[in-house]
Amino acid sequence: MSEPLLRVENLKTQFFTESGTVRAVDGISFEVHEGEIVGLVGESGAGKSVASMSLMRLVEDPGEIVGGEITYRGETLFGLEEGPDGELRERDEMLSESEMRERIRGREIAVIFQDPMESLNPVFTVGGQLREFIELNRDLSSGEARDEAIRMLREVGIPDPAERYEEYPHQFSGGMRQRVLIAMALACEPSLIIADEPTTALDVTVEGQILDLVDDLQDRYDTSFVWVTHDMGVVAEICDRVNVMYLGEIVEQAPVDELFYDTNHPYTKALLDSMPRPDRTVDELDPIEGVMPEAIEPPSGCRFHPRCPDAREVCTRVHPETLEVDRADGYPHRTACVKHDVFDVDYDGSVPLEPGDEAETRVGGTGTEAGADSNSSSTGEEEPASPDGGDPQR
């Protein structure tokens, strides 16, 4: 397979607040290949937006990327190394802030947000803003940029683009404004667009139209997308591959069909069960029990264990890495659940947890890591190993 367009490795982004360190993104790894739409899905607070902003290096104070690596077309957008005194420092080849601004943001990687009113200035015409953006970012005269702006408005399905060019954002409907933002994102023909819940505020019909449009534009421009959503329905509709996030981590990653038909992680299953489907009535929907805990003191072991219907004692102390459990269409299916055989931690022999068993186990960071690096009791099979000893420490 070709080199990915974007490679994210063990990315960590934290917020240093008065109440503690928020581990908003806590060691995620994924790739985006040329022409792919890759989903980031999870409940509110999972870390999807922080992850997206980290890719552009636009994390706001008091937040900071504290670890990991982001590579785009072989260039280092973010990367640390150990200095001579053992301190972590930015690697030499990491792009500077001005390189990010002048070469990457907008031109190579563009963003679309949920609320177009935050990206559009209400006192300027839609066309004027689009023209100015094109003029600034591409070597075009004002007249050429105007023609290009009108062409882009037509491209994203805005009727009478030359007339609508002169109108103000409030004269556009929500769906039409979102189309303008898509036009703006596409205007510099970026290779990657990061879309953070761009259709969430729209009604279902309009959302469907926008998703169709994106599908169509994606075909024509061969743009790659990172698509942030909390909605598995949206994932099913437009994503090629998907990353399921829970409390700062990717707990499952797979091509879309594989994720839906060979679901591995109980959290993914819960998300799918809570999704409205034409073949089920609302009564049959299964909301996910409980709420997602705070990212300041995540639960010990598997972070999902306090809400997991399949949790056993071992889940309270073993923190599973996201390991490859299968391959589908040449892509990995990765999962972070010790139920799976590749985690050799005797899940089957472990005592099932009763609901409410240990509500007070919120000891972030003391769990054992289960996964490739933990120890070498390997029996010559695949990478993963069992945690130390494996005897229940009760």
Contact call for residue 230 and ligand ATP (CB under 6 A): yes
Give the count of beta carbons closer than 10 Å to the beta carbon of residue 34: 15
Tell me which of ligand ATP, Ni ion, none is bound by residue 50, counting a contact when its beta carbon lies within the kind-specific cut-off of 5 to 8 angstroms.
Answer: ligand ATP
CB of 166 to ligand ATP, least distance (A): 34
Contact call for residue 60 and ligand ATP (CB under 6 A): yes
The one-letter amino acid at 49: S
**What is the C-alpha radius of gyration for the chain, rounded to an integer number of angstroms?**
23
Residue with Cβ nearer ligand ATP (15 or 172): 15
Contact call for residue 266 and ligand ATP (CB under 6 A): no
Contact call for residue 268 and Ni ion (CB under 5 A): no
Contact call for residue 63 and ligand ATP (CB under 6 A): yes
Contact call for residue 49 and ligand ATP (CB under 6 A): yes
Rounded Cα gap, residues 286 and 80, in angstroms: 43
Q: Which residues of 157-170 are buried (b: 16+ CB within 10 A; e: fewer)?
A: bbeebeebbeebbe
Contact call for residue 54 and Ni ion (CB under 5 A): no
Contact call for residue 45 and ligand ATP (CB under 6 A): yes
Q: Which one of 14-22, 86-94, 180-188, 338-346 is the stretch in contact with ligand ATP (CB under 6 A)?
A: 14-22
CB of 63 to ligand ATP, least distance (A): 6
CB of 42 to ligand ATP, least distance (A): 6
CB of 196 to ligand ATP, least distance (A): 7
Contact call for residue 48 and ligand ATP (CB under 6 A): yes
Phi-psi bin for 126: left (phi > 0), alpha (psi -120 to 50), beta? Answer: alpha
Rule CB under 6 A: choose which of 6, 8, 11, 24 binds ligand ATP.
24
Q: How far is CA 84 from CA 32, 69, 96, 144, 154, in A?
A: 33, 20, 21, 52, 56
Cβ 127 vs Cβ 153: under 8 Å: yes
Rounded Cα gap, residues 209 and 202, in angstroms: 10
Contact call for residue 364 and ligand ATP (CB under 6 A): no
CA angle at 192 for the pair 53 and 88, rounded to the nearest 5°: 45
Cβ 6 vs Cβ 192: under 8 Å: yes
CB of 17 to ligand ATP, least distance (A): 5
The one-letter amino acid at 191: S
Tell me which of Ni ion, ligand ATP, none is bound by residue 44, counting a contact when its beta carbon lies within the kind-specific cut-off of 5 to 8 angstroms.
Answer: ligand ATP
Binding site for ligand ATP (CB under 6 A): 15, 17, 22, 24, 42, 44-50, 60, 63, 230, 295
